[in-house]
Amino acid sequence: MTLAAGIDVGGTKCLGVVIDLDRDNVGERDIVRQLRHPTPHASELVDALVDMASELGEVDSIAVGVPGLITLEGVMRASPNIPGSVDVAVGPELTARLGRRVHVDNDGNLAALAEWRYGAGRGARNMWMVTLGTGIGGGHVLNGVVQRGVNGFAGEIGHTVVNPDGPRCTCGRKGCWEVYASGRGLGMLASGEPGESVIHRAREGDADAITVLEAFSRWVAIGLSNITNVSDPDVIVIGGGVSEAADVLMPMVRRWFVETLYSPEQRTHPDLRVAQLGEHAGAIGAALLPMFAS
């Protein structure tokens, strides 16, 4: 048994898991140990991760996923959803404190790695993972390799601008895709009504709620079309909290995707799939990271 620990740092919670890397398949039911704690201020993040590593127990490796711009050395340059997160040396500090190599990567990259290895992206050659949660994260796996870019900042699809005159994003720019197609975006389009309520009403056949979800699905599809036009994937996996309403949203998203894609009649479309690993994808991907890191 080869035990690997992974910790996924989110905007509100840190989720840690231990998995057995010798298993051919790892899902939520195959997690050996898990724990969760509230996400602290960036100034206290390393201390919290050291404590979580201790709680997760004896393992063969440990890695961490964090949101935002993460360098190849594991330094968090910026993260809009974690206050104070400017130049936080998460990887170097954890390695020094724990006395072992601790790999650190962007959380979207790690969710992509997990879904490609164990989930909805199995068998894909060119796969994007899109997480529609409080914000939007992304990760790109091409021929079994996570694409990180020159500095480690690739995959920040939530901050591609879809409307330069739109509302201001948490990153400080205007009209990011995240403004419209995240959980926050759904609430904005619904004039402040919680997304869960809108989805419930749509399931009941409420016409106003269905109109809101149509607008939201169009924004989701615009981003997916942009990804497709740029990188021509064979699979796009959609995860995050919003994906839990896939029964309502995915038919709308698929229809709008065809409407917004360049030359849809002349090309093979990527398979739009719903993620399978749920909230554990990022942590499972973190546990996998040392196997795939250089």
Confidence at residue 11, expressed as pLDDT on a 0 to 100 scale: 81
Which residues are CB-neighbours of 43 under 8 A, at least 6 positions away?
84
- Greatest Cα pair distance, the chain, in angstroms, is 58
Alpha-carbon distance of 167 to 205, in angstroms, equals 29
Question: Mean pLDDT throughout 49-70?
Answer: 95
Question: Mean pLDDT throughout 261-289?
Answer: 95
User: Is the pLDDT at 27 greater than 80, yes or no?
Assistant: no
Shared-domain flag, residues 155 and 67: no
Alpha-carbon distance of 101 to 289, in angstroms, equals 12
Shared-domain flag, residues 136 and 263: yes
Confidence at residue 1, expressed as pLDDT on a 0 to 100 scale: 86
- Mean pLDDT, the chain, as a whole number? 94
User: H helices of 169-234, where?
Assistant: 177-181, 183-189, 195-203, 207-231
Burial of 57 (0-12, 13-18, 19+ CB in 10 A): exposed
Q: Is residue 159 part of a domain?
A: yes
Confidence at residue 129, expressed as pLDDT on a 0 to 100 scale: 97
pLDDT digits 0-9 by tens, 224-272? 999 999 999 999 999 987 778 999 999 999 999 999 999 999 999 999 9
Confidence at residue 294, expressed as pLDDT on a 0 to 100 scale: 59
Cα within 13 Å of Cα(37), Cβ side: 16
C-beta contacts of 196-201 below 8 A and 24+ residues apart: 199/245, 199/248, 199/249
pLDDT digits 0-9 by tens, 154-201? 999 999 999 999 999 988 999 999 999 999 999 999 999 999 999 999
Shared-domain flag, residues 128 and 224: yes
Q: Is residue 116 part of a domain?
A: no
If one counts the domains in the chain, the total is 2
Confidence at residue 93, expressed as pLDDT on a 0 to 100 scale: 97
Instruction: Look up the domain containing 7 and give its range.
Output: 3-111+279-292
Shared-domain flag, residues 8 and 91: yes
pTM: 0.93
Q: Domain of 155: which CATH number?
A: 3.30.420.40
What are the tokens at 199?
């989805």
CB 112 within 8 A of CB 141: yes
pLDDT digits 0-9 by tens, 43-53? 999 999 999 99
Confidence at residue 243, expressed as pLDDT on a 0 to 100 scale: 79
pLDDT digits 0-9 by tens, 65-93? 999 999 999 999 988 778 888 999 999 99
Shared-domain flag, residues 199 and 270: yes
Provide the percentage of residues in the chain whose pLDDT is more than 90: 86
User: Is the pLDDT at 203 greater than 90, yes or no?
Assistant: yes
What are the tokens at 162?
């879809």
Q: Is residue 254 part of a domain?
A: yes
Shared-domain flag, residues 284 and 250: no
Q: Is residue 117 part of a domain?
A: no
Provide the percentage of residues in the chain whose pLDDT is more than 70: 100
How many CB atoms within 10 Å of residue 206? 14
User: Is the pLDDT at 24 greater than 90, yes or no?
Assistant: no
The pLDDT confidence band at residue 29, using thresholds 50, 70 and 90, is confident
Q: List, in sequence order, every beta strand (DSSP E) within the chain.
A: 3-9, 13-20, 33-38, 61-66, 69-70, 76-78, 86-88, 103-106, 126-132, 136-142, 145-146, 235-239, 271-274
Alpha-carbon distance of 247 to 271, in angstroms, equals 16
Shared-domain flag, residues 144 and 264: yes
